[in-house]
Structure 1
Amino acid sequence: MLLSVVLAGTTLAVVSVTDWPYRAPCAALSLWAAGMAGALTALLAGTYAFAAHPEAVLAHRLLGVPADFVALAVAWLFAARITFSFLRIHRAARKRRAKHRALLELFGRPSKARRAMVLPSRQPLAYSVPGPEGGHAVISDALLEGFTGPEVDSILAHERAHLTERHHLLTELCDAVRTALPRGQLTIRFAERFGALIEMRADCAARNRCGRHVTADALGRWTAEPTATVPAPPTRAAARTCPVSARRYHLINHPKCCSSLTAAGAFAAACSIAAAPVVLIGAGTLSALCALICG
């Protein structure tokens, strides 16, 4: 159980507190997912060990308490809390999205050329609504009139990336983890950082489709940030909230989403973390077989 805590807690803290995830958002998301997968694998392995040899697990006591059994029970309670929180959040989100899709049918008009729903609005709006048949990318009249064709394509590519990559499910899982964790500064920063990384991942998808400079300009105009100047590297304090300048800086200064040595190291760490429980189980099994054969 200690391995589950180390894998999940360490990856969550590293992704939430450090600054490198803004240089490699996809790698940071992969590292977090690997930590969760590794923690779940370790939990299942511990459960199997208890089912196969309950007497050995119960015999390990700390201050007269079966420590391994208590740790296993607490871990499963935490996993159940995350699961129920996710189901509750997902059910509520589905109801809200269904109501919103009904409103879109009433007030919006489909654009076959843009493959999007267009809303009458004086504000430049763009967002996505997941749902059946892939959901809807939604834009406003003001955005169509005030932005160039390539910029509109870039914004739509960003929103479609949210839909095709099921980012709403990742966001709901993040909310479930945040709800299950004790309230604190780290939990708040984790939620903020995760949302920022999701947006940067969608930026990368738009950049691959429409080009980095067009995507950066569209992002700057959409958020009323000056696009004539090249954004400076984000400071440590600013990087905590991931302002638009940090996203534009990443788009302009990185030809690919995760092409740096930092990204390569993060992907390697993600593979190692995901495989760690399996490797440890395999090593223990081989050791037991050798002892049995050579015994």
Structure 2
Amino acid sequence: MTHEPPLGDRTQAPVNPYVPHPARIYDYLLGGKDHYAADRAAAEETSRRAPQVRESARANRAWMRRAVRYLAGRGMRQFLDVGTGIPTSPNLHEVAQRISPDCRVVYADNDPVVLAHARALVSSSDEGRTAYIRADLRRPDEILRAPALWETLDRDRPVALTLSAVLHFVRDEEEPARIVAAFRDALPPGSYLALSHTTNDIQPRRAADAAAVYGERRAAALMVPRPLHQVEAFFDGFDVVEPGVVQLPRWHPDGPVRPRLLDDVWLYGGVGRLANG
């Protein structure tokens, strides 16, 4: 069952092809096709400064799939994915519904290009349901008050909130911890948080140089890599499951982790369960 975005939402905020957007840069790094020259130029410059960004993008996508499988395998049937990005199959709902076809997923993103692909996001199994919300992570109340959210999800049942490689586009002055806390406080008991975030711990100078491209190119959002202790702090109020907040390849890997991968993947990730749940 699907929930289409309202027609009015489809006509808002036209795409600006001259301003690089993180979602389209990420799509390019993953080998997608939904990007413009400005996005490709920014991605190539970032890759020149830090060749690891492509490996990091792939590792993040693989982590998302593992995290969703983990959650669905433990009975989670409702997901809220904020900062969805351009659809890359398998999408989150496809991963979850392979585990249990009755899973329900709500996607939220502020990029009009993502909106243009909403039909792919809201495809669903017959037993499940998906929906799409046009809203900005920085204004969590807009997402939490959106009719499509609680029309799709049951507010009395646990929800898995996923923030996959998106919070590093929120500047310190925009209070990312406050944003996560707003979602946390609205989640039903037994809910989970799955979060990944770029770090500057591994090669600080190169990470800073690569992140600077977003400012130099006047991208739609700046990138703010953060150290481990700041990423761990986003899990305040959650009991983090083993192995904790770690480099993505170390989180429930599907097989042996190549040592070189730990040099090339500059993201941490983890999953936590509401402490009062």
Query: Under TM normalisation by the shorter chain, which class is it?
Result: under 0.3
Q: Which has the higher contact order (CA 8 A, sep 6+)?
A: 1
Higher strand share: 2
Higher helix share: 1
Larger Cα Rg: Structure 1 or Structure 2?
1
Please give the TM-score of this superposition, normalised by the length of structure 1. 0.23
Please give the TM-score of this superposition, normalised by the length of structure 2. 0.24
